[in-house]
């Protein structure tokens, strides 16, 4: 049975699990629904404690893997009885398992919580941004008023650290270990939830990459806020005609430095160019065909996103230049699916938010761009929103734009 489940594609498994959870929601008596939250709170707390003690990295991996409570307790310098109590929260919820009554072993879930696993890193990010931040939210809103955080700084995540004058990424930058953890968390590739490729038709991009007319070395693909380069790598591997040499990743100087160093070991990424940027303050490098912006919009309010798009627009020097915003699309009417709702809620800590297509459209148009197409993934809310220069802009070399007349027809295309 287990291997049958593992052979089923992630998307189908996620959809079935969501359906079963929806059934459970209807069946569960109300008090039990709340008791169930207590269980989740304890489970999350136990995971964080075991991450902190390094437990997930000390349990042997493999078919015969497993470690006795006594041996594990000795390794983490804890009482065996204490370790057993914490572990019970995880064995009872299927995060860990017993191979013998006194021997603890991994499950496929706990393997993902080890130190160098992107999902384990994401768990730490969410723990801080949601749970730790929840302890100061009442005080935060008492101080700032009961309104959405819209600035780069003065946000719950930096208020939590007693440094409200900083933005989220300025705070991260002060702590190399946290920044490293964040970058690792960003490299999660979860086809079941968040596909990267398979949405945008790459024909024009590939054609441009092959075109004689393209000046040698001119960038085709600029990944703005591309972090460690995992998305650019996915594109280059999926579309071998997109040469890594014509791809650029731009990110904060410290991120670029670390990523470029790591990239030396990587067959694809060693050919990518890394160029530092502060996208709040300056345009990316000029003249690329594609400016790709994945999971950046959600980190910011409309005002901050407007500024980023406006800056990128300054770099779009060819009429066919596009900005591709890769994000999940939230429905414009309630109720939000829980996945969209939790992302939106958790983004509030850093001053960001989830958007519907209408939410994107208004910011894109305010920045003097045209929302020219939307390519939606068939199985998930993930989409690529294509933004183009309005025709009158490149014909006049346009500076100031009137955005009032920029109504466009938005085709929603399903490319699978
Ligand atoms: C949520 S991550 C997204 C990373 C990547 N695009 C992805 O899809 O996994 C946000 C990225 O934006 C970068 N970033 C944050 N502030 C920035 C700034 N002011 N200028 C350039 N990059 C920035 C971060 O370092 C990080 O790599």
Residue of minimum CA distance from atom 13 in ligand 1: 225
Residue 19 CB neighbours (<10 A): 10
Q: Quick check: is 179 in a domain? A: yes
Query: 142 and 228 in one domain?
Result: no
Whether 170 and 234 share a structural domain: no
Q: Specify the number of domains making up the chain.
A: 3
**How many A from CA of 125 to the centre of ligand 1?**
14
HSE (side-chain half, CA atoms, 13 Å) at 354: 20
Q: What is the pLDDT of residue 394?
A: 58
In the reported structure, the alpha carbon of residue 255 is separated from the centroid of ligand 1 by a whole-number distance in angstroms of 9
Of ligand 1's atoms, which has the minimum distance to the CA of residue 186? 9
pLDDT digits (tens, 9 = 90+) for 132-158: 999 999 999 999 999 999 999 999 999
Written as tens digits, the pLDDT of the chain (416 aa) is 556 776 777 778 888 998 999 999 999 999 999 999 999 999 999 999 999 999 999 999 987 789 999 999 999 999 999 999 999 999 999 999 999 889 999 999 999 999 999 999 999 999 999 999 999 999 999 999 999 999 999 999 999 999 999 999 999 999 999 999 999 999 886 656 789 999 999 998 998 888 865 666 679 999 999 999 999 999 999 999 999 999 999 999 999 999 999 999 999 999 999 999 999 999 999 999 999 999 999 999 999 999 999 999 999 999 999 999 999 999 999 999 888 999 999 999 999 999 999 999 999 999 999 999 999 999 889 999 999 999 876 554 433 332 222 223 333 333 33
Question: Ligand 1 centroid vs 227 CA: distance in angstroms?
Answer: 6
Closest-CA residue, ligand 1 atom 5, reads 226
Q: In CATH, what number is assigned to the domain containing residue 10?
A: 1.10.10.10
Residues 98 and 244 in one domain: no
Query: How high is the pLDDT of residue 280?
Result: 98
CA dist 337 and 196 (Å) reads 20
Q: How far is the CA of 340 from the centre of ligand 1 (A)?
A: 20
Specify the ligand 1 atom closest to the Cα of 281: 19
**Which residues 6+ apart lie within 8 Å of 17 measured at CB?**
none
Looking at the fold, whether 357 and 247 belong to one and the same domain comes out as yes
Please identify, by atom number, the ligand 1 atom nearest to the C-alpha of residue 326: 8
Minimum CA distance residue for ligand 1 atom 19: 278
Say if 306 falls within a structural domain.
yes
272 and 399 inside one domain: yes
* Closest atom, ligand 1, to C-alpha of 255: 25
DSSP 114-178: STT-HHHHHHHHHIIIIIIHHTTHHHHHHHH-SS---SSSS-HHHHHTT-TTS-HHHHHHT-HHH
What CATH number did the domain enclosing 259 receive? Answer: 3.40.50.150
- Residue 298 counted as domain residue: yes
- Residue 271 placed within a domain: yes
Examine residue 328 and state whether it is found in any structural domain, yes or no: yes
φ, ψ dihedrals at 386, nearest 5°? -95, 125
Whether residue 253 sits in one domain with residue 374 = yes
> Of 96, 111, 126, which residue constitutes the final position of a domain?
111
Do 124 and 93 reside in the same domain of the chain? no
Q: Which pLDDT does position 405 carry in this prediction?
A: 27
Assess whether 62 and 163 both reside in one domain: no
Ligand 1 mean position to 18 CA, how many Å?
A: 30
* Ligand 1 atom closest to the CA of 223, numbered from 1: 6
Q: How far is the CA of 60 from the centre of ligand 1 (A)?
A: 35
Pairing label, strands 370-376, 382-388: antiparallel
- Picking from 86, 111, 136, the residue at the C-terminal end of a domain is 111
> Could you identify the atom of ligand 1 that is nearest to the CA of residue 179?
25
| CA separation for the pair 75, 58 (Å, rounded) | 8
pLDDT of residue 64: 74
CA of 293 to the centre of ligand 1 (A): 9
Ligand 1 centroid from CA 91, angstroms = 36
**Which of 186, 221, 244 finishes a domain?**
186
**Which ligand 1 atom is nearest residue 279's CA?**
20
Q: What are phi and psi of 228, to 5 degrees?
A: -75, 0
* 193 domain residue, yes or no: no
DSSP state of 101: T
Ligand 1 atom with the shortest distance to the CA of 228: 27
Same domain membership, residue 107 and residue 123: no
In Å, what is the CA distance from 196 to each residue of 29, 82, 213, 248, 302? 39, 43, 29, 17, 24
- The residue nearest atom 9 of ligand 1, judged by CA position, is 186
Q: Specify the ligand 1 atom closest to the Cα of 293.
A: 6
- Residue 76 alpha carbon to ligand 1 centre in Å: 35
Compute, in angstroms, the gap from residue 274 CA to the centroid of ligand 1: 13
| Nearest by Cα to 390 from 380, 381, 400, 378 | 400
The span from the CA of 211 to the CA of 221, in Å, is 14
Q: For residue 4, report the distance from its CA to the centre of ligand 1, in Å.
A: 38
137 plus 105 within the same structural domain: no
pLDDT at 191: 59
Give the three-class secondary structure for 382.
strand
* Both structure tokens of 116: 């160098």
Q: Beta-carbon neighbour count of residue 294 at 10 Å? A: 23
Residue 195 inside a domain? The answer is no
Residues 336 and 215 grouped into a single domain: yes
For residue 221, is it within any domain?
A: yes
* Dist. CA 268 → ligand 1 center (Å): 20
For position 398, what pLDDT does the model report? 37
The best mutation among 121, 222, 227, 323 to test binding of ligand 1, ranked by most ligand atoms within 8 Å of the C-beta, falls on 227
Domain of residue 125 covers 118-186
Residue among 126, 157, 169, 249 whose CB has most ligand 1 atoms within 8 A, to mutate: 169
The tokens describing 153, both together, are 């700084």
Per-residue confidence (pLDDT) for residue 211, from 0 to 100: 82
Same domain for 298 and 247?
yes
Ligand 1 pocket, CB under 6 A: 169, 186, 225-227, 231, 251-252, 255, 277-280, 294-296, 299
């Amino acid at each position: 049975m287990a291997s049958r489940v593992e052979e089923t594609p992630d998307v189908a498994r996620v959809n079935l699990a969501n359906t079963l959870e929806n059934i459970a929601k209807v069946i569960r008596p109300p008090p039990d629904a709340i008791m169930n939250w207590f269980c989740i709170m304890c489970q999350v707390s136990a995971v964080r404690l075991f991450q902190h003690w390094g437990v997930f990295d000390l349990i042997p991996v493999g078919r015969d893997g497993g470690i006795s409570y006594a041996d594990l307790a000795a390794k983490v310098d804890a009482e065996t009885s204490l370790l057993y109590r914490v572990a019970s929260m995880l064995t009872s919820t299927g995060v860990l398992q017993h191979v013998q009554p006194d021997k603890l072993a991994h499950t496929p879930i706990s393997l993902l919580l080890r130190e160098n696993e992107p999902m384990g890193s994401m768990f730490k990010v969410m723990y801080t941004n949601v749970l730790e931040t929840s302890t100061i939210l009442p005080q935060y809103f008492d101080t700032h008023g009961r309104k959405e955080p819209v600035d780069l700084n003065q946000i719950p995540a930096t208020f939590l650290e007693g440094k409200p004058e900083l933005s989220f990424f300025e705070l991260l930058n002060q702590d190399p270990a946290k920044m490293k953890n964040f970058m690792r968390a960003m490299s999660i590739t979860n086809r079941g939830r968040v596909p990267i490729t398979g949405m945008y038709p790459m024909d024009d991009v590939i054609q441009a990459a092959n075109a004689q007319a393209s000046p040698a070395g001119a960038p085709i693909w600029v990944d703005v806020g591309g972090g460690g380069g995992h998305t650019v790598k996915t594109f280059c591997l999926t579309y071998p005609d997109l040469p890594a040499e014509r791809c650029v990743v731009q990110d904060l100087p410290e991120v670029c430095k670390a990523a470029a160093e790591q990239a030396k070991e990587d067959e694809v990424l060693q050919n990518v160019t890394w160029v530092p940027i502060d996208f709040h303050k300056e345009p990316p490098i000029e003249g690329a065909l594609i400016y790709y912006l994945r999971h950046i919009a959600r980190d910011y309010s409309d005002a901050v996103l407007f500024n980023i798009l406006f800056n990128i627009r300054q770099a779009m020097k060819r009429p066919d230049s596009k900005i591709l915003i890769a994000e999940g699309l939230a429905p414009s009417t309630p109720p939000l699916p829980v996945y969209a709702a939790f992302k939106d809620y958790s983004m509030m800590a850093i001053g960001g938010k989830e958007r519907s297509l209408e939410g994107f459209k208004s910011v894109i148009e305010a920045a003097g761009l045209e929302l020219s197409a939307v390519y939606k993934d068939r199985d998930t809310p993930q989409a690529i929103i294509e933004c183009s220069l309005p025709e009158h802009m490149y014909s006049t070399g346009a500076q100031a734009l009137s955005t009032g007349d920029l109504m466009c027809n938005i085709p929603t295309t399903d490319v699978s």
